[in-house]
Chains A and B, each alone.
Chain A
Amino acid sequence: MPVPAVTPTTESIEGCAQIELRDVSHAFAVEGGTLPVLDELSLRVKKNELTSVVGPSGCGKSTLTRLISGLIKPDSGEIFLAGDKVVSPRPTVGMAFQNPVMLEWRNVLMNVILPLEIVAPDMPRNKREERALELLSMVSLEGFEDKRPSELSGGMRQRVSLCRALVHDPDVLILDEPFGALDAFTREELWGVMYNLRRIRPFTCLLITHDLRESVFLSDHIVVLSQRPAKVQYTTNVDLGEDRQVRDLYAPKVTGLLTELRQHIEIAQDKNR
């Protein structure tokens, strides 16, 4: 009997899901009962892949990020990060939010270093700074390390926020509408920054967004969630090849995919009307 070219063990490592949700349901207690937010949601993100989660407003996307990072516990179902069940927050996660909160009393460099103070308190100071500076240069912020956050523009703050989320080399990065509050051109610029960052230094990422172009440009896979309580309504792969450019988003080949996604969002919005 011929031996299979790829053994099951190798496959399970190669294709191992860094983020996995199994039948996750969650509800919030509200006055006079409960408000179901997630309904038996399952999804997987493989190592070094980026999956975008899109869906109608208020469908529970942000709840999803808080569940994965262990900030809240699901009512039922299980969440795994790198094969380990999530029961509490863990240092192997990096997070960035729409609001790139900065510690205004620290300079940019010390803001980026913050997670290392928690997860690697014994790391020598110069090693920490080296890492932070390397990341800052990857997002084209070299020379800004001594600036105060108040001296930065919104786009720059979001770049710093990305560096901070990555400085401790997390297994997974969870981004909750990180570019949502930026103007259109700055947003596109940051898509490029993010894309290049992943090419130089791959990481596993779950991106919550409501911008379909953003999801197409950055993702390997896109998941459309239904109206609350959210379920996976539709998933698709993005096959745009390796060398993506923001201007490609205005080319005809992308339009088909965007139209398709738009339709599924509309279906999701209509479902509960």
Chain B
Amino acid sequence: MKSYRTILAPMAAIIVFLILWELLVWANGWPNYKMASPSDLWPAFWEFRGLFFEYGWDTLWRTVAGLFLAVLTGVFLGMVMGLSRMARDALYPLLVGFNAIPKATIVPVLALILVGMDDLNTVLIAFLISFFPIAVSVSIGLSTLEPEYRDILRALGASPTTIFIKIALPKTLPEFFGALKIAVTLAFIGTNLMEIVEPHGKGLGHLFDSGKINADYPLMFAVLIALACLGILLYYIVVALEWVFAGWAERE
């Protein structure tokens, strides 16, 4: 019953989605250059399979690197804001403002400053777009810790470091992973944004761009599907990590 729910049900949903898509294209009689249908995707993928794997790897590692930076920075900022009221008051508006800037506008700026350093500026965009939710949820997790939690250990003379390691850190893990699930998707968007807006011959974004230039719609859609698959892969890696490190927070 459980395997039916967790494996077969989502597969069925995907198949139904693909059938509806195919029907939509067929019913409207859309040609290939207007809207590709699912049956066009596999040939397009097979034709460029080498590029898919090469560029897929570019996209993947740069996303993960950006996410890694976002985790370091986000956790640090979250700790500072969560433990100091003053820091929270000081930094919050700045972060909100920064987060509100559409990252597409930063792409040309970064590309200009770090001209030629394609990997670095792609990683940076992935990082810039994804650290905010991590910083916010870690700071909320820390600042909403019930005072009793702290008092149990503080009344015994425990140091702030001990209290942080034994209580604040593990207590904040569910919030952290909740944010990481959002951040991983954002980082992925950031990577592709750089790859598409400032094409530099790398990543799935570049492959999408070549499809566009050649009016190869099946290729473009095949790239979209490949992106979706990579996104799902990254997301579920985070879910697995969450289960390992913060599985206790799940209610049966």
B155, A95: Cβ atoms closer than 8 Å: yes
B148, A101: Cβ atoms closer than 8 Å: yes
Q: Does B33 contact A (CB under 8 A)?
A: no
Main secondary structure of the interface of B (DSSP, over half): helix
A148, B157: Cβ atoms closer than 8 Å: no
B146, A101: Cβ atoms closer than 8 Å: yes
Contact with B along A100-130 (1 / 0, CB 8 A): 0101110000000011011100000000000
B248, A118: Cβ atoms closer than 8 Å: no
B158, A103: Cβ atoms closer than 8 Å: no
A88, B157: Cβ atoms closer than 8 Å: yes
For the complex, give the distance between the alpha carbons of A144 and B225 in Å: 49
Q: Does B251 contact A (CB under 8 A)?
A: yes
For residue B212, give the distance in angstroms from its CB to the closest CB of chain A. Answer: 48
Give every chain A residue within 8 A of B43 (Cβ-Cβ).
none
A residues 77-108 near B (Cβ < 8 Å) are: 88-91, 93, 95, 97, 99, 101, 103-105
Q: Does A231 contact B (CB under 8 A)?
A: no
Give every chain B residue within 8 A of A90 (Cβ-Cβ).
156-157
A69, B249: Cβ atoms closer than 8 Å: no
Q: Does A155 contact B (CB under 8 A)?
A: no
Q: Which of B151, B162, B167, B170 contacts A95 (CB 8 A)?
A: B151
For the complex, give the distance between the alpha carbons of A243 and B167 in Å: 40
Q: Which of B157, B167, B170, B171 contacts A89 (CB 8 A)?
A: B157
A101 to chain B: closest residue by CB: B148
Contact with B along A162-180 (1 / 0, CB 8 A): 0010001000000000000
Q: Does A71 contact B (CB under 8 A)?
A: yes
A89, B152: Cβ atoms closer than 8 Å: no
For residue B1, give the distance in angstroms from its CB to the closest CB of chain A. Answer: 23
For residue A238, give the distance in angstroms from its CB to the closest CB of chain B. Answer: 27
Give every chain A residue within 8 A of B249 (Cβ-Cβ).
104-105
B residues 10-27 near A (Cβ < 8 Å) are: none
A118, B146: Cβ atoms closer than 8 Å: no
Do A93 and B251 contact each other (CB < 8 Å), given the known contacts A101-B148, A103-B167? no
A70, B148: Cβ atoms closer than 8 Å: no
A164 to chain B: closest residue by CB: B152
A97, B156: Cβ atoms closer than 8 Å: no
Q: Interface of A with B (CB < 8 Å)?
A: 66, 69-71, 88-91, 93, 95, 97, 99, 101, 103-105, 114-115, 117-119, 148, 150, 164, 168
Give me 22 A-to-B residue pairs in the complex whose CB atoms sit less than 8 angstroms apart, sorted by A's number: A71-B151, A71-B155, A89-B154, A90-B157, A91-B156, A91-B157, A95-B152, A99-B146, A101-B149, A101-B152, A103-B166, A103-B170, A104-B249, A105-B173, A114-B153, A117-B166, A118-B153, A118-B157, A118-B162, A119-B156, A119-B157, A150-B248
Contacts A95-B151, A103-B170, A150-B248 given; 15 further ones with Cβ under 8 A? A69-B151, A70-B155, A71-B154, A90-B157, A91-B156, A93-B155, A93-B156, A97-B148, A99-B148, A103-B166, A104-B171, A105-B170, A105-B248, A119-B156, A119-B157
